[in-house]
Amino acid sequence: MYCPLAESCFKAPLTSLKDLSEGSHTFTACRTPNASFVHGERVLSPRSHKLLSGSDLPQSWFWGNVKGRNFLTANRNQHIPQYCGACWAFAITSMLADRLNIQHNRTFPERLLSPQVLINCHGGGTCHGGNPYAVYEYLAAKGLPDETCQNYEATDGQCLPFGTCENCFPSDGPELQGKRPSKCQAVLNYSRYGVSEYGLLMSGPATDKNGIQVSKVQMLKAEIFKRGPIACGMHVTEAFAAYTGGIYSEDFPIIMPNHEISVVGYGIEDGTEYWIGRNSWGTAWGEDGFFRMAMHGDNLGIEDFCSWGIPTIHQANKTLEAGSSPYHSKGSYTVDSRVKAGTYQRADTPGVVRHTAPIPTAQPSPPPVVLQGIHSLPASYDIRDLHGVNYATMDRNQHIPQYCGSCWAHATTTALADRLNLLSGGRHFPEIDFSVQVLVDCVPMAPDGEHGCEGNDPTLAYAHMVKHGLVHETCSNYQALDKECSAMNLCKSCSWEGCWPLANFTTYHVEAHGRVQGEEAMMAEIAARGPIAAGICVTEEFEAYSGGIFRDETNCTTEMHDVELAGWGEEAGIKYWIIRNSWGTYWGENGWARVVRGQGSLGMELRGDWAVPLMPPAARLPDALQDRTSGLAAYNLHASLPLQSILEQ
């Protein structure tokens, strides 16, 4: 019987998916029902329930809210830009990314593993479905790069030479079907993520540390509590696909797992215990992409087909070795001698193109340098480590799957996402990552002008957000294409039958924005309200940068590229800026760089853009903890406090 838990349960609509999708679209299986390990489990350490007793387990536990901190990584959507039955890849990579975050106590960086590589290289299946257990075996044998090596295209691609890790750069020729002319090359030196152990939850001895028999539910709870989220197969019905919130329950007569999700916690409401699941259908679905499923009773088989893995990291090798190493010292920094001019940026294809006409800004309050003064600025500031907390959201790569000059959209959105994370004290759930693609599509240089892959004005990006807002990445994921600005491309979902625009999704807004220049003014703005976007010159040496404190010797200040300016520091007497680039984590210091500060290096201090985000509506998942302080009111409150108090919040 469907939903027997009365008022605490989600009520199914009379019609199935028609109400949700405004069309006749049915769920298609994406998981092999009889999935199994080819070479068996790899279990080297005691299972979690063997290390605990029943009394050790808390009544509720949610990795999105552990003492006010969210340990869950970014949400995903397997169904865009077109349908792809890749749940088997998303559930495992999402679960392992969350576990990496937990293993490293949510310190920098946030790592998103690439499901597209699993599809390209047949690491478990294709867009027509797959075996989630085969993913563990692929990772153990070959490892997997992060998302900035190979972003999600929702298509069955080729594994080699570019289907694992690539970089694309501009070339000559006309634009075809929204694609800038570009060439791609394989990247060989990148970090890989693997697994040291993996197994099924329902195998092995079913006793706790005291030898007492434990139930299936206790085994699942113990693994989630002790080591992090798990991946589970389930039987999705059309009623579940139409879920919008609440505690779901459905007793289906024949359980055949046709979908894979991750379970990220458990809770209780009015006496009803439930699992907290993360889906891969975007934040417009369910409770911001999550769902609650009634515990016990084998609802859609969610407790019967669960697995776990322990992730590992194999860092890229950038060691300076005499003779054989391509990494060479340039004094305070190192370069990769294999990187040539034009690998990431060409002078004749700038990513920042300022408007000749002035763009109105919205600045209803005095700048922070006036509010708090320059003398209270700390000696160092790093959005990745403010009193031990990482507020930096996910890293990006603007240059894949083909070249696109969208740095102006990447720098502004990552700075804004980090500000929103900082504004909530890192407590906002779920993580908000803005859609760069919508800015590329909907912010032309001028009426009937070029679209965003040809470059644009960062100030215009924030002006657009003030007027129109911006959607989540799972509404419109980055494709590095110039597409039409339409309802379909704003927020959509897809099935094998085609795509359709969604009507119900969250739009995020900016309350104020403006420009800032000069070392001290930029530092004050960052200290008070968080990272900014900054325009810079790109030199051949900067393209080849691989670590250390970069010092430009060319005196170039021509604005070509936009980066996120996320902090500052000093080392061995050298003052530096901390920047986040959008060229992938294989560039620089894990996608970031340090650049000499106060000497006009790359024109870093000449052009900055900032914006103040409004706090979005409260999360639909009641287990999430929210800080509802919002916008300029919060920043003005902060400005009246000592800077140390700001950072400690």
User: Left (φ > 0), alpha (ψ -120 to 50) or beta: where does 340 sit?
Assistant: beta
Distances (CA, A) of 235 to 224, 256, 281, 458, 612: 21, 6, 15, 46, 43
Q: Give yes or no for a contact between 609 and 412, defined as CB atoms under 8 angstroms apart.
A: yes
Catalytic residue among 75, 131, 258, 279: 279
What are the backbone dihedrals phi and psi of residue 604, each rounded to the nearest 5 degrees, phi first? Answer: -55, -35
Residue 381 three-state SS: strand
* DSSP single-letter state for residue 147: T
**CB neighbour list of residue 428: distance below 8 Å, 6 or more residues apart:** 70, 420, 421, 615, 616, 619, 626, 627
Q: Closest Cα to residue 615, out of 462, 426, 424?
A: 424
Helix (H) or strand (E) segment spanning residue 513: strand 510-516
Give one DSSP letter per residue of 220-250, joined into a string: HHHHHHHH--EEEEE---HHHHT--SSEE-B
Question: Which ranges of 400-558 does DSSP label H, i.e. alpha helix?
Answer: 407-423, 436-442, 458-468, 487-490, 519-529, 540-544
Catalytic residue among 25, 235, 259, 464: 259
What are the backbone dihedrals phi and psi of residue 118, each rounded to the nearest 5 degrees, phi first? Answer: -60, -40
User: How distant is the alpha carbon of residue 55 from its chain centre?
Assistant: 35
Residue 87 a catalytic site member: yes
Q: Give yes or no for a contact between 72 and 101, defined as CB atoms under 8 angstroms apart.
A: yes
Tell me whether residue 314 is exposed, middle or buried, using C-beta atoms within 10 angstroms of its C-beta: 0 to 12, 13 to 18, 19 or more.
Answer: exposed
- Report the alpha-carbon distance of residue 597 to residue 604 in Å, rounded: 8
- Report the alpha-carbon distance of residue 145 to residue 156 in Å, rounded: 17
Beta strand extents in 242-393 (DSSP E only): 247-248, 259-269, 272-278, 290-294, 305-314, 327-329, 333-336, 381-382
Residue type at position 216: K
Catalytic residue among 3, 30, 87, 475: 87
Q: Closest Cα to residue 113, out of 344, 392, 394?
A: 394
Q: How many angstroms separate the first and last alpha carbons of the chain?
A: 48
- Whether omega before 161 lies within 30 degrees of 0, making that bond cis, reads yes
Give one DSSP letter per residue of 517-543, joined into a string: -SHHHHHHHHHHH--EEEEE---HHHH
Q: Which two tokens stand for residue 97?
A: 């990314």
Residue 408 three-state SS: helix
* DSSP single-letter state for residue 566: E
Residue type at position 3: C
Q: Which two tokens stand for residue 408?
A: 């102006």
Give one DSSP letter per residue of 180-205, joined into a string: PPEEEEE-----EEEEEEEEETTSS-
- Report the alpha-carbon distance of residue 28 to residue 409 in Å, rounded: 34
Residue 416 three-state SS: helix
What are the backbone dihedrals phi and psi of residue 346, each rounded to the nearest 5 degrees, phi first? Answer: -115, 140
Q: Which residue has the tokens 């791609």?
A: 184
Catalytic (active-site) positions: 87, 259, 279
